[in-house]
């Protein structure tokens, strides 16, 4: 408790009621309470539900790895893709996972630069989600090459000459993508780790067990909370946020170049970069809500991840969902207005061709569902928000499926048209990637603070030396 005796003596002038913002931490919790509530999650033994969830997730993860072993030992033919749809679930899953990753960096970097203080309660979990989603994303493009040792050997992905002394060729957006995604994964990890250092020090100072003390001590690097350190730390954090902002916008733009730079009808459009970025943020916030709504109630963190946080994230869903809906409409308009019969056919085929069901699944999940959030009553009903967030995840998977498969399966030459059906290996590898994602996320809950402790403390009134709750004595 921050010296109640001193603050009780002071009467600060009350601002008018309509100007009072809802506090970021409810019930006027003390600094010590924040430490106990958040550090307590990973210090106490995990609740009983954690174990079945973990076992199922590990099962999914192992399924995915065994199916990848099957793929590598047999060939890419075990997946359903073939000509004309040489990219199908693999690249759909890649774009799906990398898109989910975008919310973490958006929350941690863009909202930091915009001084949106509410981000402090959700950025840690969102960044963790980003890193785990990027890990899931990376698997698909690597293994869709089939003979993966060729992809990983010099000359294809990495800038080193191959057996014929030929270098990778940098005119291809696929190679840009390698650099974009690997940079994104690395920088997200660095940013996450920098944010973790002070909290790892908190855990080090609280933990009793030898193992925990050793590892938290090792990774907190001897952090003391010295202000000379904070000064450099805050500057570094600001710079990393400044670097991550153009990074997050560039990554999904470059992912969209994989399609937009080609000449396939339905892919060759200039709207792709902003449309992909908005979609990525939309899907990422969907996943953040899917994960955090159960987390806040299972661990009783409602005072830190408040209803206001949920509501604000719903507004982000509404805004980005509207951009995505606009992009769908604009694509159709340009297909007609552009006057190319192939382009127009590609879009007619999307909505009314053999994959009509995936198109309308996408439209109902992405265009209709976010518009419920115009209503405050629905934004503040956590169960409803959670259900809609799952629809957003489903819709965004379908969006990538629609873009990739419906464009490829019928392009210029009707004689080479075809229909793609996934094999069971396709389906189970994708399901298994959720196992990997959830395994990593559950381990994160088990060992690391799910909310940025020091950052949340920093936005409380107790942290402000000029606020009565921070101990200020009137006149300021």
Give Cα 167 distance to the centre of its chain.
33
User: What is d(CA 157, CA 160) in angstroms, rounded to the nearest whole number?
Assistant: 8
Contact status: 206 vs other proteins (CB under 8 A)? yes
Cβ closest to other proteins, residue 94 vs residue 216? 216
Cβ–Cβ under 8 Å, residues 380 and 311 = yes
Subset of 244-273 contacting other proteins (CB under 8 A): 244, 246-247, 250, 254, 257
Cβ–Cβ under 8 Å, residues 437 and 443 = no
Contact status: 407 vs other proteins (CB under 8 A)? no
Nearest to 301 by CA among 437, 129, 453: 453
* Whole-number Cα distances in Å, 284 to 54, 127, 315: 22, 11, 13
Kindly state the smallest distance separating residue 41's Cβ from other proteins, in Å: 16
Q: Taking contact as CB under 8 A, which single stretch among the options 81-89, 218-226, 313-321, 352-360 is the one that binds other proteins?
A: 218-226
Kindly state the smallest distance separating residue 249's Cβ from other proteins, in Å: 11
Kindly state the smallest distance separating residue 110's Cβ from other proteins, in Å: 15
Of the candidates 140, 223, 359, 441, which one interacts with other proteins according to CB under 8 A?
223
Subset of 166-185 contacting other proteins (CB under 8 A): 166-173, 175-176, 179-180, 183
Kindly state the smallest distance separating residue 31's Cβ from other proteins, in Å: 4
Kindly state the smallest distance separating residue 27's Cβ from other proteins, in Å: 16
Q: Which residues contact 171 (CB under 8 A, 6 or more apart)?
A: none
Contact status: 113 vs other proteins (CB under 8 A)? no
Of the candidates 70, 80, 135, 205, which one interacts with other proteins according to CB under 8 A?
205
Q: Taking contact as CB under 8 A, which single stretch among the options 76-84, 203-211, 262-270, 281-289 is the one that binds other proteins?
A: 203-211
Of the candidates 225, 338, 341, 354, which one interacts with other proteins according to CB under 8 A?
225
How crowded is the C-beta side of 263, counted as CA atoms within 13 Å?
Answer: 2
Nearest to 401 by CA among 435, 366, 370: 366
Cβ closest to other proteins, residue 120 vs residue 429? 120
* Whole-number Cα distances in Å, 65 to 62, 114, 294: 5, 41, 28
Query: Which DSSP helix (H) or strand (E) runs through 322?
Result: helix 307-337
Kindly state the smallest distance separating residue 442's Cβ from other proteins, in Å: 26
Prior bond to 342 cis, omega within 30?
Answer: no
Alpha helices, DSSP H only, in 261-300? 272-298
Cβ count near 122 (within 10 Å): 31
User: What is d(CA 452, CA 304) in angstroms, rounded to the nearest whole number?
Assistant: 10
Subset of 426-455 contacting other proteins (CB under 8 A): 454-455
Q: Taking contact as CB under 8 A, which single stretch among the options 60-68, 236-244, 346-354, 432-440 is the one that binds other proteins?
A: 236-244
Cβ closest to other proteins, residue 83 vs residue 466? 466
Contact status: 464 vs other proteins (CB under 8 A)? yes
Cβ–Cβ under 8 Å, residues 279 and 365 = no
Kindly state the smallest distance separating residue 130's Cβ from other proteins, in Å: 14
Cβ closest to other proteins, residue 303 vs residue 331? 303
Kindly state the smallest distance separating residue 273's Cβ from other proteins, in Å: 11
Of the candidates 217, 358, 364, 434, which one interacts with other proteins according to CB under 8 A?
217
Subset of 367-406 contacting other proteins (CB under 8 A): none
User: What is d(CA 184, CA 194) in angstroms, rounded to the nearest whole number?
Assistant: 15
How many chain residues touch other proteins (CB under 8 A)?
Answer: 76
Cβ closest to other proteins, residue 12 vs residue 69? 12
User: What is d(CA 428, CA 425) in angstroms, rounded to the nearest whole number?
Assistant: 5
Subset of 27-56 contacting other proteins (CB under 8 A): 30-32, 35
Of the candidates 11, 83, 377, 466, which one interacts with other proteins according to CB under 8 A?
466
Q: Taking contact as CB under 8 A, which single stretch among the options 85-93, 164-172, 295-303, 359-367 is the one that binds other proteins?
A: 164-172
User: What is d(CA 184, CA 356) in angstroms, rounded to the nearest whole number?
Assistant: 34
User: What is d(CA 250, CA 256) in angstroms, rounded to the nearest whole number?
Assistant: 10
User: What is d(CA 136, CA 94) in angstroms, rounded to the nearest whole number?
Assistant: 8
């Amino acid at each position: 408790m921050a010296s109640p005796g001193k603050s009780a003596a002071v009467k600060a002038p009350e601002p008018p009621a309509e100007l009072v913002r809802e506090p970021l931490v409810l019930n006027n919790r003390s600094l010590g309470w924040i430490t106990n509530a958040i550090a307590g999650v990973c210090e106490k033994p995990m609740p009983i539900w954690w174990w079945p969830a973990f076992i199922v997730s590990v099962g999914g993860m192992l399924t995915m790895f065994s199916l990848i072993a099957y793929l590598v030992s047999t060939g890419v033919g075990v997946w359903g893709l073939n000509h004309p749809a040489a990219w199908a679930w693999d690249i759909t899953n890649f774009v799906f996972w990398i898109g989910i990753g975008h919310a973490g960096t958006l929350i941690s970097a863009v909202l930091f630069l915009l001084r949106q203080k509410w981000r402090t309660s959700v950025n840690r979990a969102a960044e963790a989600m980003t890193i785990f989603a990027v890990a899931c994303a990376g698997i698909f493009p690597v293994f869709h090459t089939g003979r993966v040792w060729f992809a990983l050997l010099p000359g294809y992905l990495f800038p080193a000459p191959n057996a014929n002394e030929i270098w990778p060729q940098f005119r291809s957006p696929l190679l840009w993508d390698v650099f974009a995604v690997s940079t994104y994964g690395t920088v997200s990890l660095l940013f996450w780790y920098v944010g973790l250092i002070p909290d790892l020090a908190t855990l080090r100072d609280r933990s009793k067990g030898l193992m925990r003390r050793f590892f938290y001590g090792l990774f907190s690097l001897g952090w003391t909370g010295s202000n000379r350190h904070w000064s450099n730390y805050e500057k570094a954090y600001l710079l990393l946020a400044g670097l991550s902002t153009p990074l997050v916008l560039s990554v999904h733009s470059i992912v969209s170049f994989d399609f937009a730079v080609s000449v396939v009808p339905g892919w060759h459009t200039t709207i792709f970069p902003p449309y992909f970025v908005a979609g990525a943020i939309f899907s990422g916030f969907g996943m953040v809500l899917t994960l955090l709504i159960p987390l806040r109630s299972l661990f009783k963190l409602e005072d830190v991840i408040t209803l206001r946080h949920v509501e604000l994230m719903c507004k982000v869903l509404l805004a980005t969902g509207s951009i995505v809906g606009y992009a769908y409409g604009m694509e159709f308009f340009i297909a007609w207005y552009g006057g190319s019969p192939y382009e127009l056919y590609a879009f007619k085929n999307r909505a009314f061709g053999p994959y009509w069901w995936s198109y309308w699944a996408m439209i109902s999940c992405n265009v209709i569902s976010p518009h419920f959030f115009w209503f405050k009553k629905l934004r503040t009903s956590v169960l409803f928000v959670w259900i809609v967030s799952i629809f957003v995840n489903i819709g965004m998977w379908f969006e990538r499926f629609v873009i990739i498969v419906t464009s490829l399966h019928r392009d210029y030459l009707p004689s080479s048209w075809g229909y793609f059906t996934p094999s069971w290996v396709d389906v189970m590898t994708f399901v298994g990637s959720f196992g990997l994602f959830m395994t990593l996320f559950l381990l994160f809950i088990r060992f690391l603070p799910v909310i940025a402790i020091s950052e949340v403390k920093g936005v409380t009134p107790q942290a402000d030396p000029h606020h009565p709750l921070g101990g200020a004595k009137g006149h300021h």
